[in-house]
Amino acid sequence: MIAGVDEAGRGPLAGPVVAAAVVLCPDGILGLDDSKKLTAKRRDELYALIAEHCDFGVGMASVEEIDTLNILWATMLAMERAVEDLCARRGGREPREILVDGNRCPKWRYASRPIIGGDAIEPCISAASIIAKVTRDRLMIEADARFPGYGWASNKGYGAPQHLDGLDRLGPTPLHRRSFAPVQRSLFP
């Protein structure tokens, strides 16, 4: 019972950071890879397979938590929440070990180890990468409908030209990370 953990959304200027924890089904899922290497269509297909056949949990840290804690500790918090959600969905059963994409693990009670580039080499981390990215992308597409003018349906909150132009023209929304420099510049031009 090994779980993989990864996050999506550390670098954007807007929206939450989302983490996922996945215990793969016994037969695994073919075609898993780092979510950034897959097309959106393929991520959606794999998301559906993972959600149907595997145990997973999702955790988020809000924009307010990102601005208060900083992005690193907010990411760790989202990872903790993802594992808590995974355990809750599994009736309290905890994974024997957790593999975390990156160079550090949250400070938690679980046996875990970080793996740099793990989302490309450990299938359970790849699955977590896909769940986290698709979840976050869908949130930003929904947010684009509420806050038009920033291009979030296409840029997912990253600092793309359309997003930066929207910040200049419209100012920040409640979903903007005020601790990030481009957003701060829009607050204090």
On whether residue 90 sits in a domain, the answer given is yes
Amino acid at 7: E
On whether residue 82 sits in a domain, the answer given is yes
Q: What is the pLDDT of residues 15-52, one digit of tens each?
A: 999 999 999 998 889 999 899 999 999 999 999 999 99
Q: Which residues contact 42 (CB under 8 A, 6 or more apart)?
A: 31
Phi, psi of 98 (to 5 degrees): -125, 130
pLDDT in the model for residue 131:
98
Distance CA 18, CA 111 (A): 21
pLDDT in the model for residue 146:
97
CA 43 to each of CA 31, 38, 60, 84, 115: distance values in angstroms, whole numbers, following the listed order:
10, 6, 19, 24, 22
* Number of independent structural domains in the chain: 1
pLDDT in the model for residue 189:
64
On whether residue 171 sits in a domain, the answer given is no
* Structure tokens belonging to residue 1: 């019972």
* Domain ranges, residue 24: 2-146
pLDDT in the model for residue 54:
96
On whether residue 181 sits in a domain, the answer given is no
User: Which residue positions in the chain have pLDDT lower than 50?
Assistant: none
Please choose, from the candidates 31, 17, 12, the residue with its C-alpha nearest in 3D space to the C-alpha of residue 69: 17
CA 29 to each of CA 23, 45, 51, 83: distance values in angstroms, whole numbers, following the listed order:
11, 11, 11, 20
134 with 111: CB under 8 angstroms? no
CATH number at residue 142: 3.30.420.10
On whether residue 172 sits in a domain, the answer given is no
| 16: DSSP letter | -
Phi, psi of 171 (to 5 degrees): 80, 180
On whether residue 47 sits in a domain, the answer given is yes
On whether residue 173 sits in a domain, the answer given is no
pLDDT in the model for residue 188:
75
* pTM exceeds 0.85, yes or no: yes
On whether residue 187 sits in a domain, the answer given is no
